[in-house]
Chains A and B, each alone.
Chain A
Amino acid sequence: MGLLALWELVAKLGTWPSYLFPDPFSVALSFGRMISDGRLGNAAVRSMLRLMQGYLISVSIGVPLGIGIARSSFLRMTLKPLVMGLQALPSICWLPLAILWFGLSDAAILFVVVMGSLLAISISTEDGVNSIQPQLILAAGTLGIRGLRFYGGVLVPAALPGIVTGLKLGWSFAWRALMAGELLFVSGGLGQLLTAGRELLDVAQVVAVMIAIIVLGTLMDRLLFQTVEMRVRRRWGLLPAS
């Protein structure tokens, strides 16, 4: 509430003209307009769908990749340098190539999203596997647990805290990569709604979409991760019992 009042005050002070710094009321109006004519809903759905798709691809490649690198010295020698090197590249840098390769399609943005999160997930997963107590692995070997039973029943559950950290990081990167991509490459979604506001010199729309992005991002983080992460940490004894 205090923040809103301060915002309104600054806007009214007139330091900046209204077309540079919108007041809360105009922003709320723009927000309301975009909800009622469905633009915000459609854009949010489009962005979310892309995010889900890209993220699922990243997870399905990243987790096995991380496990593979941790467990196989061959993969570690060949793939790990590549993974570490590429991880230093902000994924938005892939956009020009992605547009050339995939053209004016969702695939270009998906590529950017995947490149953003895949590597983070893989690295965190590898860390998670590497930090499993060696006795656990030995014990499993002694008990004759191999193959899928080993991976599914011992390795992955044991590495779960590291994997979940990776999933969370990957989600964060995917979200940022998606927004960057949608801002630079017009293709529907929240990023485009923001750019449209900019190009039509409608600052209220720009700020309204920014708020929508914040709300969505926070909601997702809270629903998906805080709950999951808490549960895992509690189960693994990394948290005091409630």
Chain B
Amino acid sequence: MLLIGGASCSRPSARPGDPLRLGYFPNVTHAQALVGAMDGTFARALAPTPVHTKVFNAGPAAMEALLAGELDVSYVGTSPALIAYVRSNGGIRVVAGAVSGGSVLVAKGASSPSMLRGKRVAAPQLGNSQDVALRNWLRENQLSFDRVGADVKLFPLPNADILGLFRRGQLDAAWVPEPWGARLISEGGGSILVDERDLWDDRRFPTTVLVATTAALQNRRQEIEAFVRAHVELTQRWIRGPERFEERVNEAYGSITAHPLAPGILRDAFSRLEPVLAPFPEKLAIIAKHLEDLGYLPESDTANAVDSSLLDAVGTSR
């Protein structure tokens, strides 16, 4: 019985020709994934290998699937990517950047950090990028959050629940990725307390990156390279024609969630993010330090988390 369990647990890493399994989230911070999955860019680039997609609410769930051998590549936030890299002892690599920005703390009735005292604040999932940003920011503003009777009460909740509870007044603030920030403002009556871009040098930081399992990089490198090429093509399309690209993102978003974004919300959400290809290893290192300070990771060396060889092979650098 153990052997059967073992055989199914340690899935043999997929071979070339097996479907390529892609993970991403229904957020506009995964713009390239939304468009690429919908308009067949990924499918064409990988043909004849089929591309299977799985949609997740947030990073930790996607990384769990990646480590369990259910995914080969995934768009994901930086914190879960780093956690997965360390926990799997290098079982995944960051192969490209995707999006910078698009992460905000929206609050109702609080215009300064101290006004959050005694309030309830949410983030999409324990250990995801916004959760890490939130806890780090609370720490830097001397607000406690991790014990009974702390200044702030934290709630990891799925994005859709955050919106619902925020609207009903059961939450006072939330650190969320776009488009949820724009929706909290427009539908929830909140306002931006912190735009994460303001916390970083030159207002750029990796929000979404593209990761691949080391097994996939070893066993099906050509297919991963084809995928990265498609990712680069999508990113360049976005840079050249932002408005058209945003509309395509909304089409894809609407087809997954059954509720496309209103034009005003779409524009607001995109106003705070931008496409990038560079993985920003120095900034990843800063995030890794935050993870260690929060106790989410033991002290670890993430210097080799980034593998830019595929980006270089595809022939672009930014």
Interface residues of A (CB under 8 A from B): 10, 15-21, 42, 103-104, 186, 195-196, 198-202
Known: A104-B120, A199-B126. A10 touches B87 (CB 8 A): no
* Shortest CB distance B292–A (Å): 12
Q: Which residue of B lies closest to A197 (CB)?
A: B126
Q: How far is the CA of A30 from the CA of B120 in the complex (A)?
A: 29
B296 is an interface residue with CB less than 8 A from chain A: yes
Known: A42-B148, A186-B155. A199 touches B125 (CB 8 A): yes
* Shortest CB distance B206–A (Å): 19
Q: Are A17 and B88 in contact (CB under 8 A)?
A: yes
- CB-defined contacts of A201 to chain B, threshold 8 Å: 60, 63-64, 67, 83-84, 87-88, 127
Q: Are B60 and A199 in contact (CB under 8 A)?
A: yes
B262 is an interface residue with CB less than 8 A from chain A: no
* Shortest CB distance A158–B (Å): 45
- CB-defined contacts of A196 to chain B, threshold 8 Å: 126
18 A-B pairs in the complex with CB atoms less than 8 angstroms apart: A10-B2, A16-B9, A16-B10, A17-B89, A19-B87, A19-B88, A20-B67, A20-B68, A21-B9, A103-B165, A103-B170, A104-B155, A104-B171, A196-B126, A200-B127, A201-B83, A201-B84, A201-B127
- CB-defined contacts of A186 to chain B, threshold 8 Å: 126, 155-157
Q: How far is the CA of A103 from the CA of B120 in the complex (A)?
A: 12
Q: How far is the CA of A103 from the CA of B209 in the complex (A)?
A: 34
- CB-defined contacts of A21 to chain B, threshold 8 Å: 9
- CB-defined contacts of B120 to chain A, threshold 8 Å: 104
Q: Are B2 and A199 in contact (CB under 8 A)?
A: no
Query: Which residue of A20, A42, A104, A200 has the most chain B CB atoms within 10 A of its CB atom?
Result: A200
Contact among B10, B64, B127, B170 for A104, CB-based, below 8 A:
B170
Restricting to B220-246, which residues have a CB under 8 Å from any CB of A? none
Interface residues of A: mostly helix, strand, loop or mixed? Answer: loop
A-B contact count (CB 8 A): 60
- 10 tightest Cβ-Cβ pairs between the two chains A and B: A201-B87, A199-B60, A199-B126, A15-B6, A199-B127, A200-B127, A103-B170, A19-B87, A19-B88, A16-B9
Q: How far is the CA of A42 from the CA of B147 in the complex (A)?
A: 9
Q: How far is the CA of A17 from the CA of B126 in the complex (A)?
A: 23
Q: Which residue of A lies closest to B60 (CB)?
A: A199
Q: Are B60 and A200 in contact (CB under 8 A)?
A: yes
* Shortest CB distance A105–B (Å): 9
Q: Using C-beta atoms within 8 Å of the partner chain, give the interface range for chain B.
A: 20 to 34
B91 is an interface residue with CB less than 8 A from chain A: yes
Interface 0/1 of B89-119, CB less than 8 Å to A? 1010000000000000000000000000000
Q: How far is the CA of A163 from the CA of B135 in the complex (A)?
A: 49
Restricting to B119-167, which residues have a CB under 8 Å from any CB of A? 120, 125-127, 148, 155-157, 165
- CB-defined contacts of A17 to chain B, threshold 8 Å: 10, 88-89, 91
Q: How far is the CA of A239 from the CA of B127 in the complex (A)?
A: 54
Q: How far is the CA of A139 from the CA of B311 in the complex (A)?
A: 91
Q: How far is the CA of A19 from the CA of B88 in the complex (A)?
A: 6
Contact among A16, A19, A199, A200 for B91, CB-based, below 8 A:
A19
Interface 0/1 of B22-44, CB less than 8 Å to A? 00000000000000000000000
Q: How far is the CA of A186 from the CA of B171 in the complex (A)?
A: 14
* Shortest CB distance B55–A (Å): 18
* Shortest CB distance A29–B (Å): 11
* Shortest CB distance B287–A (Å): 15
Known A20-B9, A186-B156; further 7 A-B contacts with Cβ < 8 A: A15-B9, A17-B89, A103-B168, A104-B171, A199-B60, A199-B126, A201-B67
- CB-defined contacts of A200 to chain B, threshold 8 Å: 60, 83, 87, 126-127, 296
Q: How far is the CA of A15 from the CA of B168 in the complex (A)?
A: 49
Q: Which residue of B lies closest to A201 (CB)?
A: B87
Q: Which residue of B lies closest to A13 (CB)?
A: B6
Q: Which residue of B lies closest to A38 (CB)?
A: B147
